[in-house]
Structure 1
Amino acid sequence: MRALAIRHKPYEGLAGFRAPIAAAGYAIDTVDVDDPAFASLDFVAPDLLVVMGGPMGVYERAAHPWIAGEVARLADRLASGKPTLGVCLGAQLIAAALGADVFAGPVKEVGFAPVALNDAGAGSPLRHLDGVPVMHWHGDTFDLPDGTELLASTPAYRNQAFRRGARLLALQCHPEIGDDAQFEDWLDGSDDYVAQGGLTISELRDQHDRLGPAAAAAGRAMLGAWLAEL
């Protein structure tokens, strides 16, 4: 089996999700959106597609012309019913591919905090995240797409996770983050963004050091459970 991870920035890769994907038997390929091959890449072919995060907004299509093509090919992928996972921007792109609006959220949500699971979430692989502070780094949100099921929320962002059946999972938060050395690349030059989320870089680094290992472990357990259900 083959898994394809789409990266919108080199530092926002699979991180803690790589191990459970490999353990589930997938050979992993990664493609960056600035790779010339990305424009013609077949999204339907891989057995598993993972769409990772990035700092751009789905609505910033003039600045990032590849977004329209990615949304269109994601729509084809989702129509195929093949397993697909989206993280942060990836979840927003999936929402757009399903016809939902994506827009700026009320605040920047930054730092480690738990998500509140509803009954559906508690009965899903997200049960492994219950009560665990996980990484948040976003300022956009989306309407819940038709035909999907909400799984988790936070006070500022109602739509933190949704699914459609067993084969589509979309996460606004970042449960893959916690023990990845590239987290320092997230922090580089991000003082203003982090401040808008109510933290300093040093405070966020401290959260990562204290809470990151448990967050990453919970993220791996969650993803492993989701992959086992496919």
Structure 2
Amino acid sequence: MPRTAVAVRHVPFEDLGILGPLLTQHGYQTRYVDAGIDPIVEPEVVDADLLVVLGGPIGVGDVARYPFLADEIQALGGRLALELPTLGVCLGAQLVARALGAQVASTGQVEIGYAPLTLTRAGEESVLGALGDVPVLHWHGDQFTIPAGARHLARTPGFPYQAFEWGNAVLGLQFHLEADHSQLERWLIGHAHELAAHRLDPHTLRADAQRHGPDLAARSRRVFHAWLDQVVAVSR
């Protein structure tokens, strides 16, 4: 039987990106669940061999306005109690952190664009070590604290909590390794209002995507391959 991977998607253009083909290479059959449209609390989501929770322009603090976020946190709680393989990206990482009891809050600022991470010692020894000092794509304003029992993997000057690993099968990334730089225009269109509100020039993001995107994609694939190999080893 092929392994199953479910990706919870909040907006169409923030998809699996370069991670999608890698999941296929690792033997996963992948399907999307669109948050707010498709049911979240169901066996196919909770019990999938692998769950990826993707990003989006809302936050954990918006549960009252977007009640499906509570369903996501509940589903994540069920998976995490069983230590099932789970990857959270940006909003997804914040939801994972919240399900693990960590705090998630708005910072009053944004970090949007390409910039390098500073890996902690644990981060250098983790699958993120393959990133080195390559700039990664940031697109967030909220921030999580590191959940109890998790390993803090990365930071930036404005956002000290950028990544964590909980056990050997749960990874939370505030930044976007999955984003396909050749498809960044979809992000620039979808987040046009946010870019304008913060006076960020899409020309700069396009230029940085061309400059850093190919190297970042190669290193991100190494990260995801290593993590998927680690998840399969743990699951045996």
Q: TM-score range by the shorter chain?
A: over 0.9
For residues 10-35 of structure 1, the C-alpha deviation after alignment (integer angstroms, 9 at most, x for no partner) is 11110011122211111111111133
How far did residue 127 of structure 1 move? 0.8
Flag the 1:51–1:196 CA change in 2: closer, same or farther, 3 A.
Answer: same
d(CA) in 1 for partners of 2:230, 2:105: 32
Identity among equivalent pairs (%): 43
How far did residue 136 of structure 1 move? 0.3
Counterparts of residues 17-166 of structure 1 (less than 5 Å): 17-38=19-40, 40=42, 42-166=44-168
Quick check: 1:199 aligned with 2:200?
Answer: yes
Q: Which amino acid aligns with 1:221?
A: R
- What is the TM-score when the length of structure 2 is the normalising length? 0.91
* Structure 2 residue aligned with 1:212: 213
d(CA) in 1 for partners of 2:217, 2:89: 14
Flag the 1:58–1:65 CA change in 2: closer, same or farther, 3 A.
Answer: same
d(CA) in 2 for partners of 1:198, 1:161: 27
d(CA) in 2 for partners of 1:225, 1:52: 19
Flag the 1:146–1:198 CA change in 2: closer, same or farther, 3 A.
Answer: farther
d(CA) in 2 for partners of 1:54, 1:84: 17
* Structure 1 residue aligned with 2:173: 171
How far did residue 40 of structure 1 move? 3.8
d(CA) in 1 for partners of 2:40, 2:86: 17
Counterparts of residues 174-185 of structure 1 (less than 5 Å): 174-181=176-183, 183-185=184-186
How far did residue 78 of structure 1 move? 0.5
SS class of match (1:74): helix
Flag the 1:134–1:198 CA change in 2: closer, same or farther, 3 A.
Answer: farther
For residues 87-127 of structure 1, the C-alpha deviation after alignment (integer angstroms, 9 at most, x for no partner) is 00000000110111110024210101111111100011101
SS class of match (1:10): coil
Q: Which structure is richer in relative contact order (CA contacts within 8 A, separation 6 or more)?
A: 1
How far did residue 196 of structure 1 move? 5.9
Flag the 1:109–1:198 CA change in 2: closer, same or farther, 3 A.
Answer: farther
- What is the TM-score when the length of structure 1 is the normalising length? 0.94
d(CA) in 2 for partners of 1:173, 1:134: 7
* Structure 1 residue aligned with 2:234: none
Which runs of structure 1 show a deviation greater than 4 angstroms over 4 or more consecutive aligned residues? 195-198
Flag the 1:39–1:82 CA change in 2: closer, same or farther, 3 A.
Answer: closer
Structure 1's unaligned 5+ residue stretches are none
Structure 2's unaligned 5+ residue stretches are 232-236
Query: Does the 8 A contact of 1:109 with 1:197 survive in 2?
Result: no
Flag the 1:163–1:193 CA change in 2: closer, same or farther, 3 A.
Answer: same
For residues 44-86 of structure 1, the C-alpha deviation after alignment (integer angstroms, 9 at most, x for no partner) is 3111101100000111012211011110110111111111100
Q: Which amino acid aligns with 1:139?
A: G
Q: Which amino acid aligns with 1:63?
A: R
For residues 172-219 of structure 1, the C-alpha deviation after alignment (integer angstroms, 9 at most, x for no partner) is 0001124342x2221116345335666311111111122112112211
SS class of match (1:206): helix
SS class of match (1:132): coil
